[in-house]
Amino acid sequence: MKKLSLFLLPLLLFLLVSVFLLQGLFSDPTERKSSLLNRGVPDFSLPDVMNDSIVYGPEVFDNQITLLNVWGTWCVTCAYELPFLTQLREQGVRIVGLYYEQDLDPDFGAKSLRQIRLDIDKKLGQLGNPYAFNIFDQQRSLSLDLGVTGAPETFLIGPQGKVLLHHIGDVNERVWQQKFESVYQRLSGQALNQQESVR
């Protein structure tokens, strides 16, 4: 009896540790739940990146399902997702860009606004333009309020202006199918039903 337990106990411990470590192999260290989920988009008042006179607030997310995509021309991975996002736009998904500039350090300030606009035009001309418009997060204040850790990141925002998904990293076909599509379909189904009931 004692011998058996002496044999079984280490084996059991070994199995436990193995299972624990095996799990670690498949877990994504950057994956974490956004603390903003199911809460409203924080208040902001920021200009359009192409035109200072247009100022956006949280009301731009009202009554529409929106993908809010955090990006910059300096960001390499963002360039990879632009063609796929453009495809999504062609399928009718509304995508709003949250643009921020890495070089535009509030302490120093390096790149001119003119240069930024030229770079954006060039990049979107080359790879496709998925954006309905781009909000310019000059001081990265909205990014901070949204818990953005870098670029690219994408939020799915519901018609009530609630954050429903927060994805860190690029959105490609696999991510879209696994993470976004079902929620997006469910939401647009609900929106359709509401429209019909109003009629």
Partner 1 sequence: MRCFLALLLMISFALNAADEIYDFDDPGQRALFLTLSESLRCPKCQNQSIAGSNALVAQDMKRKVYQLLQQGYTEQEIIDYMKQRYGDFVYYQPPLNPLTLLLWMGPALFVLLVLGILIRRRNKPAVQADSAMLAKAEKWLEEDK
Query: Which residues are near partner 1 by CB under 8 A?
Result: 29, 32-36, 102, 105-107, 140, 143-150
Looking at the Cβ atoms of 81 and 137, the one nearer to partner 1 is 137
Q: Which two tokens stand for residue 181?
A: 């599509």
CB of 140 to partner 1, least distance (A): 5
Question: E strand or H helix at 125, and its extent?
Answer: helix 113-127
CB of 87 to partner 1, least distance (A): 28
Looking at the Cβ atoms of 149 and 182, the one nearer to partner 1 is 149
Query: Which three-class secondary structure state does DSSP give residue 19?
Result: helix
Backbone angles phi, psi at 133, to 5 degrees: -165, 170
Distance CA 146, CA 153 (A): 10
Looking at the Cβ atoms of 3 and 33, the one nearer to partner 1 is 33
CB of 105 to partner 1, least distance (A): 8
CB of 191 to partner 1, least distance (A): 29
| Peptide bond between residue 152 and the one before it cis (omega within 30 degrees of 0) | yes
Looking at the Cβ atoms of 68 and 93, the one nearer to partner 1 is 68
Distance CA 90, CA 82 (A): 12
